[in-house]
Structure 1
Amino acid sequence: MHVFDLLYFVNIGLYCFGAVLYFLGALTSSRALKRSASWLAVIGFALHTAMLVHFLASGPLSQLTQGWYLKLMSWCMLLIFFILWWRLKHEFLALMASPLALFVFISSLAMPQAGAVMPKSLSAVLLIVHVGSLFVSVGLSAVACVAGLVFLHQNRTIKSKAKLSTFDKDLPALSVFDRVNHWAVVIGFPLYTLGVISGFIGAKFTLEKVIAWLAILIWLLFALLFHLRLAFGWRGRKPATLAIWIFLLFLATLLINFVLPTEQTFHP
C-alpha cells in the first residue's frame, strides 16, 4: 500500500472519530470528549492540508485529478467551519462539518485518477478564481444548510414545548444559527456568481441541458435568498429551508458533474 493511501485512511479515521466523540460529548455533557473531538478535527484538517499541498506541488494544475478537486472542496468546507468556530466561539459549528467533509472526502477516493483535461484558453489565474470562488461558495452553502437544519430542529422542539435533550441544551441559540445562515448567503452568493462567470469566460465550455438548468436554478434561488435577506431582513424558518434546498441542488450538480459523463468537463 502506498504511503498516501494509508494517510487517506488515517484522515478518514480522524474525521470519523472526531464526529463520533463530539456527539458522545454532547449527549453526555462531557467537555473532555468534546475537547478530544476538537483536537482530532484539527489534526485531520492539518493532515488534509499537507496532502493537498503535496499534490499541488508535484505537478501542473492540468494533471490534478477529479478526486483532488473533491478533496479540495471538503477542505474548503472545513476551513469555513473552523473560521466560524474561531469567530463565533461555538465549537459545534466546526465539528458539525466533520461528517459532511468526511462524506465528500470518501467520495473523492472513488473518482478516476486520470488528470482533468484543461483548455488552452483557461489560464492559471482564471482557473484559481473559478475553482476557488465556486468551492468556497459551495462550502458556505454547506454552512448555511447545516445551520438551517439545526435551526429548524431547534425551532420545532421549542414550539412543541418538548423537553430539551442534553444534546439540544448544548446547542447555541437560534439567533446564532440565523446569523450564520445570513453571512453564509451574503458572502456565498457573490462568490458563486464570480465562479460561474469566470468559468464561462476562461474555459469557454458548453453545458448539457440538465447542468445548465441546475446552474440557472441555483443562481436564481441564491439571488432570491440574497435579496430577501438584505432588502427585507428575511429571517427564521423560510430562509433556513431555502438554504437547505440550494445546497441539495449543489450536491445534485456535483453528482452529475463528477459521476455522469456530461459536457461540463473541460475540452481542449
Structure 2
Amino acid sequence: MFFDIAFVFYLLALLHSMLYFFLGYKNLVKVLNFFVVLGLTLNTIFLVKLFALPGNSPFDTIGEIFVFLVFSINIFYLIIYWLYKRPLLYFALSPIILILSIVSIFTLDNVYSVSVNNNFWLYIHLPFVIFGTSLFLMSAITGIIYFLQEKQLKKKNFGLLFNKFPPLETINKLNNFTLLSGFSFYTIGVISGFIWSFYLLNFSFLSNPKILFAMISWCIFGAIILLKLFRGLSPKNIAFLSILGFISICITYLVVILLMRG
C-alpha cells in the first residue's frame, strides 16, 4: 500500500519534470522535488516494514530489489540536485523509476515468505551494489546527455534540448561524480559479496554466477577508472565508457533475474 502511493507521487514528479522541461517555470522544480520527497518517504516506510517482517529479507524477490533500487535512485537524485541544482536529471530518470516501480508492484506478492538469505553480509552486499547501480545509471544518462549536447554544438543546432541541458563542462562533472561515487559503493558491495560467498560456498564464488557477473562489472568500471586516472581520457571517451559499463550492469541484473526465476 505504501509503495503504491509512492508510485503515484513519483508519477506526479515525472509530470512536473515534463512541465518544467517544456515551460521552464522555476516554481515547478519545488513541486517536483516535493513529490519526490513524498514518494521517497513512503518508499522508505515500505522498506522499513519489509525489514521488520520476522524472517524476511527485503532482497528475496526481484520486486523487493527494484523497490530498493527506486529508493536509491531518488535518494541520489536529491543529493545531486542539492550539489548541482540540475532538476532535469529527474526528467531522464523518471521513466526508468516508473518502469521499475510498475514491475515491483506486480511482483510483490510473496514478501511475507520466510527468507533463507539472512546472512549479515547480505545486508551490506546488496544495498551497496544497488547504490552503485543507481549511480552508474546516472553516469550512463549523463553520458548520453553529453553526446546529445555535443552533437547539437557541432551542428550549431541550438534548439530546445540545447537550452535545457547544462553545458558540457557541467555534464562532465556530473558524469565524473556519479562514476567515481558509484564505483566506491559497488566496490564495497563486491567485497562484501565475496565474504558472503565464502560463508555460503566456501570461497567457490566462481560457481555463483551472481557474484561472478558482479565481479565482471566491477572489473569493467575499475578499468574505466584506471584509464581515466592514468591515461587522461577525454570527457567524450568517459561518457562512452560509462554507457558501456552500465550495459554490463544490465546484463548482470538480467542474469540475476533469470537465476531467481529458475
TM tier, shorter chain? 0.7 to 0.9
2: CA distance, partners of 1:241 / 1:230: 16
- Structure 1 residues 93, 262: closer, same or farther in 2, change over 3 A? closer
User: Which segment is superposed worse, 232-241 or 143-152?
Assistant: 232-241
1:89 maps to which residue?
A: 85
1:213 CA displacement: 6.2
Whole-angstrom distance in 2 between the partners of 1:8 and 1:146: 25
Out of 96, 105, 114, the residue aligned to residue 100 of structure 1 is 96
Give 3-state SS (helix, strand or coil) of 2:259's partner: coil
Q: Could you say which residue in structure 2 is the equivalent of 1:218?
A: 217
| Residues 55 and 115 in structure 2, CA contact (< 8 A), matched pair in contact too | no
Q: CA deviation at 1:223?
A: 1.1
Q: Say if 1:84 and 1:94, in contact at 8 Å, map to a contact too.
A: no
Aligned positions of 1:135-150 closer than 5 A: 135-150=130-145
Cα distance, 1:153 vs structure 2: 0.9
**Are 1:63 and 1:116, in contact at CA under 8 Å, matched by a contact in 2?**
no
Is there any run of 5+ residues in structure 2 with no aligned partner, and where? none
Q: In 1, distance between residues paired with 2:253 and 2:114?
A: 15
Q: Secondary structure at the match of 1:35?
A: helix
CA distance in 1, matches of 2:88, 2:114: 36
Q: Work out whether residues 70 and 105 of structure 1, in 8 Å CA contact, stay in contact via their aligned partners in 2.
A: yes
Match of 1:231 in 2: 230
Relative distance call for 1:14 and 1:35 in structure 2 (3 A) is same
- Residue 185 of structure 1 deviates from its aligned partner by 2.0
Quote the Cα distance in structure 2 between the aligned partners of 1:228 and 1:26: 35
Letter in 2 for 1:17: L
How far has the Cα of 1:235 moved from its partner? Answer: 3.2
SS in 1 for 2:156: coil
Counterpart Cα distance in 2 of 1:50 and 1:230: 40
User: Alignment RMSD, CA only?
Assistant: 2.6
Which of 187, 194, 200 in structure 2 is aligned with 1:200?
194
Quick one: distance in 2 between partners of 1:63 and 1:133? 14
- Residue in structure 1 matched with residue 124 of structure 2 by the alignment: 129
The Cα of 1:243 is off from its aligned counterpart by: 0.8
User: Which of 16, 20, 33 is the matching residue for 2:28?
Assistant: 33
Alignment correspondent of 2:156: 161
Could you give the per-residue CA deviations for residues 234-260 of structure 1, whole angstroms, max 9, x where no partner exists? 2322111111122122122212212x1
- For residues 143 and 211 of structure 1, the distance between their equivalents in structure 2, rounded to whole angstroms, comes to 23
Is there any run of 5+ residues in structure 1 with no aligned partner, and where?
none
- After TM superposition, the runs of 4+ consecutive aligned structure 1 residues lying more than 6 A away are none
Match of 2:247 in 1: 248
Over the matched positions of the two proteins, sequence identity in percent amounts to 22
**TM-score under structure 2 length normalisation:** 0.84
Alignment of 1:59-98 (within 5 A): 59-62=54-57, 65-66=60-61, 67-98=63-94
Whole-angstrom CA distance in 2 between matches of 1:92 and 1:42: 16
Contact 2:56 2:115 in 1 (8 A): no
**How far does residue 186 in structure 1 lie from its aligned partner after superposition?**
1.8
Matches of 1:110 and 1:164 in 2, distance apart?
Answer: 39
Q: What amino acid maps onto 1:113 in structure 2? A: N
What is the number of residues matched between the two proteins? Answer: 254
The answer for the alignment partner of 1:191 in structure 2 is 185
Supply the distance in 2 between the matched residues of 1:73 and 1:214 (Cα, whole angstroms). 18
> How far apart in 2 are the matches of 1:238 and 1:116?
46
Shifted more, 103-112 versus 13-22: the winner is: 103-112
Using the TM superposition, give the Cα deviation of residue 109 of structure 1 relative to its aligned residue in structure 2, in angstroms: 2.4
